[in-house]
Amino acid sequence: MSTESSAASGFELSREHEEFRRTVRDFAEAEIAPHAAAWDRAHHFPTDVVQKMGALGLFGLTAPEEYGGAGEDGDFTSLCVAIEEVGRVDQSLGITLEAAVGLGINPILTYGTEEQRATWLPDLVAGDRLAGFGLTEPGAGSDAGATRTRAVLEHGEWIVNGAKQFITNSGSDITSVVTVTARTGESASGKPEISAIIVPSGTPGFTVEKAYDKLGWHASDTHPLSFEDVRVPEANLLGERGRGYAQFLATLDDGRVAIAALAVGCIQACLDMSVEYAGQRQTFGGPIGRKQGVAFQVADLEVMLHASRLLTYRAAAMKDSMRGGAGASMKEFKQAAAVAKLYATESAVTATRIATQVFGGYGFMEEYPVARFYRDAKVLEVGEGTSEVQRMLIARGLGLPVE
C-alpha cells in the first residue's frame, strides 16, 4: 500500500490504509469478536481463525511477492493497522499476528539465506504455519547477553542445549520452526558470541513444555522450551555467526512499534466500550455519562487514544520511509519506536483501569470484555522491552550516559 501520505506528514494514514483498516475490522468483528470470550475462558488457540487471517493476507504484509507476500502493495504501516484492528477485539490474536510476523517471519526474511527463505517463508507468509523466536531465558530477559543456551558445531551440525521461556507461537498445532539464540563461542575480549539458529519443530531433543497458565492473553500460544542435544544442520545458522544478539535487537525496534499498535487497539476498545456503557447505564434518573466524574474519565481515554495512535503511526511511517535508504535515519526510528512503545503501552494499562472503573461492579465480572482487556493489558508494558528499557533507550537517544 502507498505510504506517501503517512510518510510525508508522519501523522495521516493514506486512503488505501484506511480502506484496508475497514477490511480487517469487518473480518475481526465477524470472525473473532463473537468467540473471543469463549476462547479466553477455554485457553483455546483458534488455529482455524489464524489460518483465515493468513488467507486474508495479514501475515504477508511485509513480505515480497516471491514468497506469497503483498510485495509493493504492503508495508509496515499496513501491518500495524492490522494488529490494531485485530487487537481491538482480541488482544490474544493481536499478539499472535504481531509475533508471527515480527518475531517469526521477519528475522528469516531479513537475515536468512535464499534457501532458508524458500524453505520456511511460503507457509509462514500464507498463515498455514507459524514460527517463534526463542530469546528469553530464566536468567536472561532484558539482559539477553546473559544467554546460557549453547550451541556447539560438530561434524557439520549444531548441537543445541539449554532452555527458553515465554516463547509465543512456539507450540501450536501449526508451529513449524523456532529460531533460538545460543552461545556459539567467545569473542577475543571474552564476551559471549551469540548466534541465531533455526530449529524445526519435532527435532529430536527439542521439547515444547506445558503451556503457561497466564494472567492474560489466554488464547495465544506461549510455552517454555527445552533443548537437549538437539542436532540441526550447520546451514541452519541464521545470519552471521556471532551476530544473533545484534540481529534480534534490530528486530525488536520494529516489534516495539507493532506492540504499540496492539496497545492502540486496546485503548480503542476501552473507549468504545466506555462510551456505549456510559450512554446506556442509568442511575439517579439518567445515564452515568452526564456525570462529570464519568465523562471526564472517558474524555481522558480519547486523549490517550489520539496521542498513542499518532506516536505509533509516526514511527511506522518512519520505518516505511527508510525503504530504499531514504527517509528517516535508524537513530530517529529507534527513538520514535521506543517513545511510541512506552507511551502507548502505559496508556493502554491506564485505559483498561479507567474502563473498568466506568463499568463499576460489572467491570469486575468476566462476562464483560473490559475484564479481559484489563488482564491482557499489563504484559504490553513488559514484552518487546519493558517500560524501564524504553526509558533507558530514550535517555540514551538524548545523549545521556545512562547504564
Res 9 pLDDT > 50:
no
Res 403 pLDDT > 90:
no
Q: Is there a contact between 178 and 165 (Cβ–Cβ < 8 Å)?
A: no
Q: Mean pLDDT throughout 225-254?
A: 95
Q: Which residue has the cell 489520539?
A: 306
d(CA 386, CA 337): 13
Per-residue confidence (pLDDT) for residue 11, from 0 to 100:
64
User: 41 and 169 share a domain?
Assistant: no
User: 386 and 251 share a domain?
Assistant: yes
User: 209 and 342 share a domain?
Assistant: no
User: 265 and 350 share a domain?
Assistant: yes
* Bigger pLDDT: 187 vs 148: 148
* 48-65 pLDDT per residue, tens: 999 999 999 999 999 999
Per-residue confidence (pLDDT) for residue 89, from 0 to 100:
98
Res 1 pLDDT > 60:
no
**Is 86 domain-assigned?**
yes
* Bigger pLDDT: 245 vs 128: 128
CA atoms within 13 A on the CB side of 20: 25
For the chain, give the percent of residues with pLDDT over 70.
96
CB atoms closer than 10 angstroms to residue 153: 14
Q: What is the mean pLDDT of the chain?
A: 94
User: 117 and 250 share a domain?
Assistant: no
**Is 343 domain-assigned?**
yes
* 328-383 pLDDT per residue, tens: 899 999 999 999 999 999 999 999 999 999 999 999 999 999 999 999 999 999 99
User: 385 and 280 share a domain?
Assistant: yes
* 117-134 pLDDT per residue, tens: 999 999 999 999 999 999
Per-residue confidence (pLDDT) for residue 106, from 0 to 100:
96
User: 378 and 250 share a domain?
Assistant: yes
- Helix, strand, coil in percent for the chain, rounding step 5: 60, 15, 25
Q: Which residues contact 343 (CB under 8 A, 6 or more apart)?
A: 260, 307, 308, 311
Instruction: Name the pLDDT band for 92 (thresholds 50, 70, 90).
Output: very high
Domain boundary pick from 128, 147, 171: 128
Sign of the CA dihedral with 215 first, then 339, 86, and 46 last: negative
User: 388 and 285 share a domain?
Assistant: yes
Res 7 pLDDT > 70:
no
- How many independent structural domains does the chain possess? 3
User: 393 and 282 share a domain?
Assistant: yes
**Is 253 domain-assigned?**
yes
Q: Of 228, 384, 388, 403, which residue is the catalytic one?
A: 384
Instruction: Name the pLDDT band for 91 (thresholds 50, 70, 90).
Output: very high
Indicate the residue type of 106.
Answer: N
Strand stretches in 201-269, DSSP E: 206-208, 222-233, 237-238
Instruction: Name the pLDDT band for 2 (thresholds 50, 70, 90).
Output: very low
**Is 403 domain-assigned?**
no
Note if 384 is an active site residue. yes
d(CA 318, CA 326): 10
What's the pTM?
A: 0.95
d(CA 312, CA 324): 21
User: 235 and 217 share a domain?
Assistant: yes
Domain that holds residue 143: 133-242
Res 116 pLDDT > 80:
yes
Domain boundary pick from 85, 101, 128: 128
For the chain, give the percent of residues with pLDDT over 90.
88
Q: Are strands 130-134 and 175-186 parallel, antiparallel or unpaired?
A: parallel
Q: Whose CA is closest to 203, among 184, 181, 223, 179?
A: 179
**Is 25 domain-assigned?**
yes
CATH number (domain holding residue 62): 1.10.540.10
User: 171 and 102 share a domain?
Assistant: no
**Is 92 domain-assigned?**
yes
Q: Which residues contact 286 (CB under 8 A, 6 or more apart)?
A: none
* 289-311 pLDDT per residue, tens: 999 999 999 999 999 999 999 99
Per-residue confidence (pLDDT) for residue 144, from 0 to 100:
66
**Is 402 domain-assigned?**
no
* 200-230 pLDDT per residue, tens: 999 999 999 999 999 999 999 999 999 999 9
Domain boundary pick from 74, 106, 128: 128
* 135-165 pLDDT per residue, tens: 999 888 767 668 999 999 999 999 999 999 9
For residue 181, the SS3 value is: strand
**Is 45 domain-assigned?**
yes
CATH number (domain holding residue 141): 2.40.110.10
User: 370 and 291 share a domain?
Assistant: yes
Per-residue confidence (pLDDT) for residue 187, from 0 to 100:
81
CATH number (domain holding residue 364): 1.20.140.10
